[in-house]
Structure 1
Amino acid sequence: MSKIKELIKKHWDIVSYLFFGVCTTIVGWVTYWLFMTLFSSFGMNGELNIIISNVISWIFAVIFAFITNKLWVFRSKSFDAKTLWYEIGTFVSARLVTLLIETGILAGAAFLFGSDNNVINMIMKIITSIIVVLLNYIFSKLIIFRKKGEKKEEEKNSEKVLENP
């Protein structure tokens, strides 16, 4: 049991990111399904419904993800205005990039396979969610919530080479 605790502690950012990533994905999927269903009941179908539902679900997921990533995953405790605005700005920017990737894939799949097939749309949503989770982790870990004292691995390695010629 202590080995499991050690592993979790050692890899906290990955373990917690996966947990909250799953929660964020669920928030995104549930809100996507709700808005797809809601808009369909008002007669909106096709690519427009997919894109609008995806963007709205993205907003809900990004708000949830920012809060959980900041507080629990990467434990960024600074709430000074400069740091907070940097984190929000880079977080939203990175998420916009992955939103465009996700939306492009979903729209492309709808074009190729038909937009009224909700089973295929949800399968594509699952595939894009995996891609998006991986990209978002990389952006968050290496750019957004990187601790000021942390050096990039390349910087550490280059310092070791200079110290030990």
Structure 2
Amino acid sequence: MSRVRQLLDKLPWYTDNIHSILMYLIMGGFTTLINIVTFWLCTDVLNWDYRIANTIAWVASVLFAYFSNKKYVFESYTPTWKEKAREVSSFFGFRFLTYIVDFLVMILLISGLGINELWAKIWTNVIVLILNYVFSKWIIFKVRK
């Protein structure tokens, strides 16, 4: 356990649930930053189509998200290959579902409503962040008894 966590645990209102949410917001913030910066680099610097950029940004951010969520947010321990396989497949499976939401909302906002690509990406990330937390907390990294 980290020194910071030990100090925070001394606060009477600081619970495991609050810690999980706080860590998800921090790691989710980094994940979102990776997603948006990668998207921006692909669209504005490399001048790629926003749909391709969105897919590349998704891959980069989901890889980071898996490892950061497993280690820092949900502190998941999977001792067997079967448990690891279930966790990995459910993580990437649910992330793929939110990628579809991400992709469709991006098309709606950009091609349908004419919203700026970067602003559309930012708003879409809010929706995806919430969905990903719900899936991660209650399905993917759920503590098994």
> What's the counterpart of residue 12 of structure 1?
19
> Structure 1, residues 115-145: CA drift from partner, whole Å, max 9, x if none?
xx7xx21111111111100000000011000
Name the structure 2 match of 1:139: 135
The letter for the 2-side match of 1:37 is D
SS at match of 2:111: helix
Query: Which segments of 5 or more consecutive residues in structure 2 lack a partner in the other structure?
Result: 1-6
CA distance in 2, matches of 1:2, 1:125: 34
Q: CA deviation at 1:12?
A: 1.1
1:161 alignment counterpart: none
Letter paired with 2:132: N
| Structure 1 gap ranges (5+) | 150-165
Q: Which residue of 2 aligns with 1:67?
A: 67
* Identical residues among aligned pairs (%): 30
1:35 alignment partner AA: C
Q: Are 1:25 and 2:32 an aligned pair? A: yes
Cα displacement (A) at 1:78: 1.8
- C-alpha distance in 2 between matches for 1:144 and 1:24: 17
Once residues 133 and 4 of structure 1 are traced to their aligned partners in structure 2, the CA distance between those partners, rounded to angstroms, is 29
- Separation (CA, whole Å) in 1 of partners of 2:129 and 2:30: 11
Alignment of 1:115-130 (within 5 A): 120-130=116-126
For these two proteins, the number of residue pairs brought into alignment is 138
Normalising by structure 2, report the TM-score.
Answer: 0.86
Say what the alpha-carbon RMSD is for the aligned residues.
2.0
* Distance in 1 separating the partners of 2:10 and 2:107: 42
Deviations 1:36-70 (Å, cap 9, x if unpaired)? 12431xxx4xxxx1110000010010000000110
TM-score of the pair, normalised by structure 1: 0.76
Distance, in Å, in 2 between the alignment partners of 1:128 and 1:4 is 37
SS of match in other structure, 2:46: helix
State the partner residue of 2:4.
Answer: none
Shift of 1:6: 4.1
Moved over 3 A (4+): 1-10
Contact 2:51 2:103 in 1 (8 A): yes
